[in-house]
């Protein structure tokens, strides 16, 4: 979908001072209706603000429990911006081939830092996706988000013609970020050394985590649920699960959801260095991210975005959409233990996985593929592994891998990008390798871990985990659509 300079997507939408409403007399579905006079329509057409009154009316949709349970949620489109490519198939083929996206940082001079490597995106253009006048001022996390979001629409067959047929009051955007506009924030600090007058006038909106979702919704004219969630590195999974719940509750038919982050800037790198969380294997970047390996020395920062189209099943079938997988459900919990360290017994992770299985109606035996959080940190990898063994045992046929071994840790975008990897595994019946797993940790039995090459697997149910600073845990499940 081409850039629209953030203008309304069709001539039937008149923009007022603070909102857009359909001016064809059609009433949006739901609890509220938009009423306006013929006079207010003509004044809006002449460029003046439209007077809009919100009036309560009876709900069109009955959101009782029985109806909600019947609303199935499917994945009908995917968009990515990653160190391994900006197309879902290119991205996944690189994963299957064991290609590393970790390299030396080039966007700024980090020669004085103990860590000088990252999963940095080297080649990216928002041309054709974001209006040039805005792309010059936007933070990269927003550019990645908007581009991945529009690529997901293209991948899902939501063309301009299809867009005109959608009920946009029932289409929403829920894409989060762990860090927000770090480059805009970093640049503002540098500008302030000279004068506040040098600060980007968009500094405040472009640093907030919600603004990517907001601008994408403005650009598309989508008036359904629109917000962001920020739960550190669990952000994407929280967004995906909440987006699915909006559909299940009958509040939306289509949701764009996922996460985006671009924190490879001086203040972002410096902050994680100060946490002593990063690998310092600068002499061999491709070998630096090594989940479960005995010689791991920390995680590797990454950047990018991942966006899914979640859609109510009947809605997807009516428009003839290709269905890539079904979203079964998920769960979120809190360790309630420490800001950065996992619970020593893995209690929160175990509870999260068990609740996800229960909520989704999935048995332990159903799950045969797990895309683990596994960041390559000393404590995190082992605690997650122990939790997985507690929940699933070492059952034959269970396979576990970590996308981060090749992408690095994409922070708030990680869960969405890894959800794409899980969906691609369902589609292709191939799961990607764990690279750099040369010598597994002593208390890790590698029998359930994927080796150094891709493996064939008919995925029954895929589980994807994401955990974040603050003790945020999230687990989501996908399966082939039947």
Q: DSSP for 416-456?
A: HHHHHHHHHHHHHSEE---TT-SSB-TT--GGGB--SS-EE
User: Can you give the pLDDT at residue 134?
Assistant: 85
User: Can you give the pLDDT at residue 331?
Assistant: 98
Q: pLDDT class for 32, splitting at 50, 70, 90?
A: very low
Q: DSSP for 377-425?
A: -TTHHHHHHHHHHHHHTT-TT-EEE-THHHH-B-GGGHHHHHHHHHHHH
Q: How many CA atoms lie within 13 A of 149 on its CB side?
A: 31
Residue with more model confidence, 212 or 35? 212
User: Can you give the pLDDT at residue 91?
Assistant: 98
CA distance 412 to 259: 6
Residue-wise pLDDT tens digits, 422-460? 999 999 999 999 999 999 999 898 999 999 999 999 999
User: Can you give the pLDDT at residue 56?
Assistant: 38
Rounded to an integer, the average pLDDT of 57-70 is 43
Torsion angle in degrees (nearest 10) through CA of 382, 387, 389, 390: 140
User: Can you give the pLDDT at residue 167?
Assistant: 97
Query: Which residue among the candidates 86, 315, 409, 472 is catalytic per the annotation?
Result: 409
pLDDT at 15 over 80: no
User: Can you give the pLDDT at residue 339?
Assistant: 92
pLDDT at 358 over 80: yes
Write down all domains in the chain, each with its CATH number in brackets.
13-60 (no CATH), 69-479 (3.40.47.10)
Query: Do residues 457 and 431 lie in contact, with contact meaning Cβ atoms separated by under 8 Å?
Result: yes
CA distance 482 to 477: 15
Q: Which of 188-202, 322-336, 405-419 has the lowest mean pLDDT?
A: 188-202
Rounded to an integer, the average pLDDT of 68-96 is 94
pLDDT at 161 over 50: yes
Residue-wise pLDDT tens digits, 120-153? 999 999 999 998 888 888 999 999 999 999 999 9
Is residue 86 flagged as an active site residue? Answer: no
pLDDT at 35 over 60: no
Q: What percent of the chain has pLDDT over 70?
A: 86
Torsion angle in degrees (nearest 10) through CA of 450, 475, 228, 92: 20
Rounded to an integer, the average pLDDT of 147-167 is 97
CA distance 27 to 54: 12
Tokens of 239: 């967004």
Residue with more model confidence, 176 or 395? 176
pLDDT at 7 over 50: no
Tokens of 185: 């924030």
User: Can you give the pLDDT at residue 263?
Assistant: 96
CA distances, 248 to each of 61, 69, 72, 296, 359 (Å): 12, 7, 7, 41, 13
CA distance 102 to 287: 8
User: Can you give the pLDDT at residue 133?
Assistant: 85
Query: Which residue among the candidates 155, 343, 373, 472 is catalytic per the annotation?
Result: 373
Rounded to an integer, the average pLDDT of 450-474 is 97
Q: pLDDT class for 201, splitting at 50, 70, 90?
A: confident
CA distance 295 to 252: 47
User: Can you give the pLDDT at residue 203?
Assistant: 87
Q: What percent of the chain has pLDDT over 90?
A: 76
Is residue 233 flagged as an active site residue? Answer: yes
Q: Which of 163-172, 192-201, 349-358 has the lowest mean pLDDT?
A: 192-201
Q: pLDDT class for 205, splitting at 50, 70, 90?
A: confident
Query: Do residues 143 and 127 lie in contact, with contact meaning Cβ atoms separated by under 8 Å?
Result: no
User: Can you give the pLDDT at residue 202?
Assistant: 86
pLDDT at 267 over 50: yes
Is residue 373 flagged as an active site residue? Answer: yes
CA distance 223 to 482: 31
Strands 304-312 and 455-456, bridge-based pairing? unpaired
Query: Which residue among the candidates 23, 171, 233, 257 is catalytic per the annotation?
Result: 233
User: Can you give the pLDDT at residue 420?
Assistant: 98
The average confidence (pLDDT) of the chain is 87
pLDDT at 69 over 80: no
């Amino acid at each position: 979908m081409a850039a629209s300079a953030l203008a309304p997507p069709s001539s039937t939408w008149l923009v007022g001072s603070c909102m857009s409403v359909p001016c064809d007399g059609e009433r949006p579905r739901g609890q509220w209706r938009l009423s306006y006079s013929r006079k207010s329509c003509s004044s809006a057409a002449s460029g003046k603000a439209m007077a809009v009154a919100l009036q309560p009316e009876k709900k069109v949709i009955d959101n009782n429990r029985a109806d909600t349970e019947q609303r199935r949620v499917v994945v009908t489109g995917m968009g990515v911006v990653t160190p391994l490519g900006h197309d879902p198939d290119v991205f996944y083929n690189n994963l299957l081939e064991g290609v590393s996206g970790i390299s030396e940082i080039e966007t700024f001079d980090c020669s004085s830092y103990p860590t000088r490597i990252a999963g940095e995106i080297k080649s990216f253009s928002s041309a054709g996706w974001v209006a040039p006048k805005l792309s010059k001022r936007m933070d990269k996390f927003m550019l990645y988000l908007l581009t991945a979001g529009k690529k997901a629409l293209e991948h899902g067959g939501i063309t301009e013609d299809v867009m005109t047929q959608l009920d946009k009051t029932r289409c929403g955007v829920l894409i989060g970020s762990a860090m927000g506009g770090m480059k805009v924030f970093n640049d503002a600090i540098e500008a302030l050394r000279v004068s506040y007058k040098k600060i980007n006038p968009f500094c405040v909106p472009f640093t907030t985590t919600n603004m990517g979702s907001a601008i994408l919704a403005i650009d598309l004219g989508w008036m359904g649920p629109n917000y962001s969630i920020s739960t550190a590195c669990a952000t994407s999974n929280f967004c995906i699960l909440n987006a699915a719940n909006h559909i299940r509750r009958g509040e939306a038919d289509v949701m764009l959801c996922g996460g985006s982050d671009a924190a490879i800037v001086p203040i972002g790198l410096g902050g994680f260095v100060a946490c002593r969380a990063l690998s310092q294997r600068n002499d061999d970047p491709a070998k630096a991210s090594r989940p479960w390996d005995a010689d791991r020395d920390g995680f590797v920062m990454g950047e990018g975005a991942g966006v899914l189209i979640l859609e109510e099943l009947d809605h997807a079938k009516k428009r003839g959409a290709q269905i890539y997988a079904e979203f079964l459900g998920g769960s979120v919990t809190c360790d309630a233990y420490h800001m950065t360290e996992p619970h020593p017994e893995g209690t929160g992770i175990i509870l999260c996985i068990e609740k996800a299985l229960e909520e989704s109606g999935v048995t332990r035996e159903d799950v045969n593929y797990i895309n683990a959080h596994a960041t390559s940190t000393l404590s995190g990898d082992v605690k997650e592994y122990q939790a997985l063994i507690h929940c699933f045992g070492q059952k034959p046929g269970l396979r576990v891998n970590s996308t981060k071994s090749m992408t690095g840790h994409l922070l708030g975008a990680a869960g969405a990008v890894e959800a794409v990897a899980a969906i691609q595994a369902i589609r292709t019946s191939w799961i990607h390798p764990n690279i750099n797993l040369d010598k597994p940790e002593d208390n890790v039995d590698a029998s359930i871990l994927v080796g150094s090459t891709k493996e064939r697997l008919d995925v029954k149910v895929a589980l994807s985990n994401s955990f974040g600073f603050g003790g945020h845990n999230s687990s989501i499940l996908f399966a082939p659509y039947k």
